[in-house]
């Protein structure tokens, strides 16, 4: 097949890490080629080099057989290469049309011809199923719509190669399906797609060819029809992966531990983000909270962890009201917390590891006598935790900031589980972690559940929710769309609820 882009021996280092180690990568005409790899494997770096956002240390790039020097995204676009980033690059106060033509020279003289641009835009959006209102302002659009604007923006510039960086991360299952339809139409037209992902399911659905990166090196290349999910996972991680963690079925669920009634709270902008949330979590169960990012999950986590005030409603833990309790009281009641923002909330990165391990229990015996901290028992405790939780660090005195994401999460987990919590609030516990660390975290959560702990799992990763939860609550714009039993749930149903369809017959919010 005709090669549109050839990248040869691409090398890129950041300070001490080699992000791309002599990588060869081709894109053929009319194909969907997936760059598969764990977080930090170098996928995005490689594509940012192609798109002119990073300069490479060494290597060569050929576009349509000609050697090129791509210095900026502008160069890339003029060579027919477009990229849709994970974080969109749109001007919020402009309309869709204005955003699409932004940066292009006006068609006639100095006058901007919005009308003809709009016409082109409508025809593009019809042709590829990218439904969007050209006159809407960006801030009015949903995440899925914004992504469509980004794609239109790229297509409007007549690109041949479209790079999409983890496009489904922000989409509901239905929106992802629509996106895949669009991508198929584009390849039929002879355009090429580079699809960056680490989700095996969608990779198998959309790709023609799969290139796997691991730790910055090329780990393998497979045609879709010659491979399986299992094989891809093995190449990606570098070892055999348990596809699904065994989850013990609990015969019956225990007592209600945490009861939340009609909870209301504001977000940082003062807008109501929780509009009457009610649910309960029993011991020995995991209640998963699913939803597209930004539908009140963060505020729910904050309120339950004691760092955001609720404006109405009640939170009851083991029969006692804890609605207005401070973090310290919540910790001391036996509630363990794994916050979404592990860098800014879960850990004090500039303190050494041993101090992060004790930060929730430094004021209790045997670590303290009330005034002094007993640093020799602290040392023993920290050494034990590092060993028990397999935290990879040169020493307990190492500054926490230097650890990898998986090890940071292990510090949080060790600290929390060492207090034997009866209830755990875990928010996005595996976001950004590699498969091995994610598996470890999940195993620990499931074994806590088997020991009778009740767990509230807040996650935007549907696979994670489906794998771990006993029941699933779907949140949309601060409301509960329904609570379903894991056994009865279908992806379609979840997807509909995540986009705001309330399920009849399910639990209704008050």
Partner 1 sequence: MSLISFKLEKRIPPPWWFRILMPIMAVIISLAISSIFLLILGKNPFTAFYYLFYGGLGTKFAFLEMLVKATPLILTGIAVSIAFLAKYWNIGAEGQLYAGALLATWVGIQNFNLSPVFYVLLVIVAGFVGGGVWSFIPAYLKARFKVDDVVTTLLFNYIMIYFVSAILEGPWRHPVSLYPESVNIAENAQLIQLVPRSRVHIGFLIAVAVVFVTYFIVKKTKLGFEIRATGSNPKAANFLGINTLKTIIIASVLSGGVAGLAGVSEVAGVHYHLIHNLSPGYGYSGIVIAMLGGLNPFGVLFAALYFSVIITGAQMMSRSVGIPPYIADVIQGITLIVMLAMLLLFEYKISIRRGK
Interacting residues toward partner 1 by CB under 8 A:
15, 53, 55, 71-74, 89, 305, 307, 326-328, 330-332, 337, 339, 344-351, 355, 359-360, 362-363, 368, 370-373, 375, 399, 401-402
Pairing verdict, β 454-458 and 423-427: parallel
What's the rounded Cα separation, in Å, for the pair 496 and 481?
Answer: 9
Is there a contact between 28 and 190 (Cβ–Cβ < 8 Å)? no
- CB of residue 86 to partner 1, shortest distance in Å: 14
Closer residue to partner 1 (CB): 307 or 503: 307
- CB of residue 168 to partner 1, shortest distance in Å: 23
Closer residue to partner 1 (CB): 363 or 439: 363
Residue whose entry in the numeric block shows the structure tokens 């279908």: 490
The phi and psi torsions of 125 (rounded to 5 degrees) equal: -70, -35
Closer residue to partner 1 (CB): 67 or 74: 74
Alpha carbons within 13 A on the beta-carbon side of 459: 25
- CB of residue 399 to partner 1, shortest distance in Å: 5
- CB of residue 322 to partner 1, shortest distance in Å: 14
- CB of residue 248 to partner 1, shortest distance in Å: 31
| Contacts of 210 by beta carbon, 8 Å cutoff, 6+ apart | 33, 34, 36, 203, 221, 222, 223, 224, 227, 232
Which tokens in the block code for residue 335?
A: 């509630």
Closer residue to partner 1 (CB): 250 or 349: 349
Question: Measured over all CA atoms, what is the biggest interatomic distance in the chain, rounded to whole angstroms?
Answer: 79
Spatial strand order of the sheet with 58-63 comes to 17-28, 3-14, 58-63, 66-68
- CB of residue 34 to partner 1, shortest distance in Å: 24
Closer residue to partner 1 (CB): 348 or 450: 348
- CB of residue 92 to partner 1, shortest distance in Å: 15
- CB of residue 383 to partner 1, shortest distance in Å: 18
Is there a contact between 473 and 483 (Cβ–Cβ < 8 Å)? yes
SS3 341: coil
Is there a contact between 250 and 487 (Cβ–Cβ < 8 Å)? no
The phi and psi torsions of 262 (rounded to 5 degrees) equal: 50, 50
Closer residue to partner 1 (CB): 178 or 368: 368
Distance of CA 139 to the CA centre of its chain: 22
Closer residue to partner 1 (CB): 327 or 500: 327
Residue whose entry in the numeric block shows the structure tokens 């919005």: 114
Residue whose entry in the numeric block shows the structure tokens 């498969």: 435
CB atoms within 10 A of CB 436: 14
Closer residue to partner 1 (CB): 406 or 495: 406
- CB of residue 482 to partner 1, shortest distance in Å: 30
What's the rounded Cα separation, in Å, for the pair 423 and 107?
Answer: 62
Burial profile 99-121: b = 16 or more Cβ within 10 angstroms, e = fewer: bbbeeeeeeeeeebebeebbebb
Closer residue to partner 1 (CB): 1 or 91: 91
């Amino acid at each position: 097949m005709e090669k549109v882009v050839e990248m040869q021996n691409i090398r890129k280092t950041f300070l001490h890490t080699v992000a791309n180690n002599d990588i060869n990568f081709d894109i053929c005409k009319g194909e969907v080629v997936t760059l598969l790899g764990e977080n930090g494997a170098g996928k995005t770096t490689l594509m940012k080099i192609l798109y002119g956002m990073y300069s490479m240390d060494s290597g060569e790039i050929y576009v349509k057989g000609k050697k090129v020097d791509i210095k900026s995204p502008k160069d890339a676009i003029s060579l027919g290469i477009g990229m849709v980033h994970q974080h969109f690059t749109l001007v919020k106060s402009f309309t869709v049309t204005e955003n699409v033509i932004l940066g292009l020279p006006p068609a006639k003289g100095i006058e901007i011809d919005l009308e003809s641009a709009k016409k082109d835009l409508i025809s593009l959006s019809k042709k590829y199923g990218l439904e969007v209102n050209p006159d809407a302002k960006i801030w009015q659009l949903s995440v899925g719509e914004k992504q469509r604007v980004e794609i239109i923006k790229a297509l409007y510039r007549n690109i041949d190669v479209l790079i999409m960086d983890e496009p489904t991360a922000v989409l509901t299952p239905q929106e992802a399906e629509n996106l895949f339809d669009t991508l198929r139409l584009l390849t039929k037209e002879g355009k090429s797609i580079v699809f960056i992902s680490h989700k095996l399911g969608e990779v198998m659905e959309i790709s023609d060819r799969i290139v796997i990166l691991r730790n910055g090196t090329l780990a393998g290349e497979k045609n879709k029809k010659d491979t399986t999910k299992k094989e891809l996972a093995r190449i990606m991680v570098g070892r055999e992966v348990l596809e699904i963690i065994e989850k013990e079925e609990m015969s019956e669920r225990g007592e209600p531990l945490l009861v939340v009634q009609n909870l209301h709270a504001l977000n940082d902008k003062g807008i109501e983000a929780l509009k009457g949330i009610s649910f309960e979590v029993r011991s020995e169960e995991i209640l998963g909270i699913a939803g597209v990012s930004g539908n009140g999950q963060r505020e729910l986590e904050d309120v339950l962890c004691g760092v955001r005030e609720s404006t109405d409603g009640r939170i009851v833990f083991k029969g006692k009201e804890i609605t207005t309790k401070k973090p310290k009281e919540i910790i001391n009641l036996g509630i363990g917390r794994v916050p979404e923002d592990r860098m800014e909330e879960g850990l004090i990165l500039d303190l050494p590891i041993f101090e992060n391990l004790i930060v929730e229990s430094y004021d209790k015996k045997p670590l303290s006598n009330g005034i002094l901290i007993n640093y020799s028992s602290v040392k023993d405790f920290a050494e034990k935790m590092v060993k028990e939780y397999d935290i990879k660090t040169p020493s307990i005195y190492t500054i926490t900031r230097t650890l990898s994401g998986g090890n940071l999460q292990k510090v949080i987990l060790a600290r929390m589980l060492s207090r034997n919590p009866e209830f755990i609030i875990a928010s996005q516990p595996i976001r950004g972690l590699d498969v091995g660390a994610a598996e470890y975290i999940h195993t620990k959560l499931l074994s806590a559940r088997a020991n009778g702990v009740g767990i509230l799992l807040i996650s935007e990763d549907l696979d994670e929710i489906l794998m771990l939860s006993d029941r699933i609550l779907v949140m949309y714009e601060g409301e509960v769309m329904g609570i379903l039993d894991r056994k009865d749930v279908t992806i379609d149903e979840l997807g509909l609820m995540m986009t705001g369809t309330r399920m009849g017959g399910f639990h209704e919010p008050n």
